[in-house]
Structure 1
Amino acid sequence: MNGIGIDVCKARLDVAVYRGPCAQFHNTPAGHLKLVSWLAQREVGQIVLEASGGYEQRVLDALFDAGHRIVRANAHRCHAFAAAVGLPAKTDRLDAINLACMAHTLELRPYQPMEPWRRRLREFVRARQQLVELTTSAHNQLEQVTDTRLHRVLHANIAQMKKTCVRLEQQIAEQVGQQPQLEAMRSFKGVGATLQAVIASYLPELGTLDGKTIAKLVGVAPIAHDSGQMRGLRRIRGGRIEVRNVLYMACLSAIQHEPRIREFYRSLRARGKPGKVAIVAAMRKMLVILNARARDAHAADVQTVPT
């Protein structure tokens, strides 16, 4: 069985077979059909493609529907693998070859399509986040404007973006409220509709993995840096930044209002831990608690299903 690597861009797919031929296809439904037909002529094992900001979603679904074991790999992991095997150069074709080597060498967690409601929610969450970033950029631009008429135009644009953002937040809250799966999170002080929506759409694994693994996925698990007698500082890196950013803000609220998180944070500070270290530790504890709640809620749902 051959490992297959696919480098994805907006218009094109570069495909490589491990120690085999390369090919190009359009990143369109017609191109995906041609790719599936091309793969049907080969002994295909694991297929790996790199996350590309959403441009990979349709080909992911097409290959999954065709019955292939398909993996969406984190970009940082792909680049680290390329450096490890000595592929420093970068072109689309070389990226596909690197991904094919990765598919042949490593056994990675396969892609599972999200439920339709999660996918729809993610589109709203992403649109809101992009709008927030645009509003921040527009505010920065406004501060540098001296012309009165231009100032009014830009100010009106910011006001319109804020109104749209409010409407998106209302629609996100409505979608979150319609999902009983998220009920386990709602009683946790500090967890609002925004965090529920981000977790539901960017962390569907919540409740299906153990606490350590879920913390690594989000990037709040401390990474050791020891050598011999030296014990280095633990740091966090990687993970799903979309979840981590919102979890940070929710944790600040939980430190004020949720007794378990507040006492945990205060105990760390009393032991001399720096503020940021204590906050990250509180984020991890909060995430582990939410993970356990989601797991227990799922187990209870399974037990109540009639046989």
Structure 2
Amino acid sequence: MPEIRALKSLINRREALLADLLREQNRQEKTLTTSTPKIVRQSLVKCIKILEKELLAIESEISNHIDNHPKLKQDMELLTSIKSIGNQVGANMLMVLRSHDFTSAEQVASYLGLVPVERRSGTSVNGRAHLSKTGSSQIRAKLYFSAITAIRHNPHIKSLYDRLLARGKSKMSALGAAMRKLVHLCYGVLKTGLAYDQNYARQIFAS
């Protein structure tokens, strides 16, 4: 759909601007401990201000674009009904889920590189399973921080996390499962057209 392609372009531009901004901020931080010409410091300040302004403009356009398309707006409201899914993660998940014909939440998790795989050497399995990390690292990073928030504030996710720790799983393994659970919930609300409700999420959305 044209509106999804436009959303993808806007989100990609936001990610590019954010990466540029972080690089300039890191360079600026280094000037605090090194001898740096004044003109370089001034240039960094100017560039950071420009990038911050552009980033705000793109973020505003992403919000406006979603609001101006009823279906996107409805989907965004469903996604952000999930505790810990804010506008940035919601927009990214909206882009992913509506730009592919996924038939299951597991497919989405696999696409995003959130499926655990075992380390192998020849025919031997070595060590613990780890995430495959295929797909978008930017979206994974956003889901990582959302999962941390969800463990604290979303009883559905916290219950899963605590249960896995009680079974002896590592914190990173349990956190990976929390990230996958968020993907399942995002897929679930769009598939059912129902806003997230922690009181019946276990029955409505696949665990």
Common fold, TM-score beyond 0.5? yes
Q: For residues 211-269 of structure 1, what are the alpha-carbon distances to aligned partners after superposition, in whole Å with 9 as ceiling and x for unaligned?
A: 22221111111124579896752222143224322222222222222111122222223
Q: 1:150 to 1:265 in 2, by over 3 A?
A: same
Residue in 1 aligned with 2:200? none
Give CA deviations for 1:188-221 in whole Å, capped at 9, x if unaligned: 0111111122122234267842122221111111
Once the two structures are TM-superposed, the CA of residue 155 in structure 1 deviates from its matched residue by 1.1
1:30-49 alignment runs, 5 A limit: none
Consecutive unaligned residues in structure 2, runs of 5 or more: 195-207
Q: Flag structure 1 segments of 5+ consecutive residues without an equivalent.
A: 1-114, 299-307
Change (3 A) 1:275 1:207: farther
Q: Could you say what the CA RMSD is over the residues aligned between the two structures, in angstroms?
A: 2.5
1:127 aligns with 2:17: no
Q: Match of 1:253? A: 149
2:114 to 220, 226, 230: 220
Q: In the TM superposition, what are the counterparts of 1:76-91 in structure 2 within 5 Å? A: none
Larger radius of gyration: 1
Aligned with 1:147 (options 37, 43, 51): 37
Q: CA 1:176–1:279 in 2, change beyond 3 Å: closer, same or farther?
A: farther
**128-137 vs 140-149, which moves further:** 140-149
Q: How far 1:124 moved relative to its partner?
A: 0.9
Q: Which residue of 2 aligns with 1:234?
A: 129
| 1:271 match | 167
Verify the 8 A CA contact 1:135 1:158 in the aligned structure 2: yes
Aligned match of 1:211: 105
Aligned to 2:62: 172
Percent identity over the alignment is: 23
Residues 1:280 and 2:170 aligned together: no
Structure with more of its chain in helix, by fraction: 2
Alpha carbons of 1:225 and 1:157: their partners in 2 closer, same or farther (altered >3 Å)?
closer
Once the two structures are superposed, residues 278-302 of structure 1 have per-residue CA deviations (whole angstroms, 9 ceiling, x without a partner) of 111100111112212211129xxxx
CA distance in structure 2 between the partners assigned to 1:248 and 1:117 by the alignment: 27
Q: Which residue of 2 aligns with 1:16?
A: none
Which structure is higher in strand share? 1
Greater RCO structure (CA 8 Å; 6+ sep): 2
For 1:177-188, list aligned pairs within 5 A.
177=67, 178=69, 179=72, 180-188=74-82
Instruction: Classify 1:276/1:206 alpha carbon distance in 2 versus 1 (closer, same or farther; 3 Å).
Output: farther
Write the deviation string for residues 34-88 of structure 1: whole angstroms up to 9, x where unpaired. Answer: xxxxxxxxxxxxxxxxxxxxxxxxxxxxxxxxxxxxxxxxxxxxxxxxxxxxxxx
> What is the Cα deviation at residue 153 of structure 1?
2.3
Residue identity opposite 1:140 in structure 2: N
Match of 1:188, SS state, is coil
Kindly provide the amino acid, as one letter, of the partner of residue 295 in structure 1: K
Distance 1:117 1:148 in 2: 45
Q: Is the 8 A contact 1:195 1:247 kept in 2?
A: yes
Separation of aligned partners in 2, 1:207 and 1:184: 18
Secondary structure at the aligned position of 1:234 is classed as strand
Which position in structure 1 is the counterpart of 2:188?
292
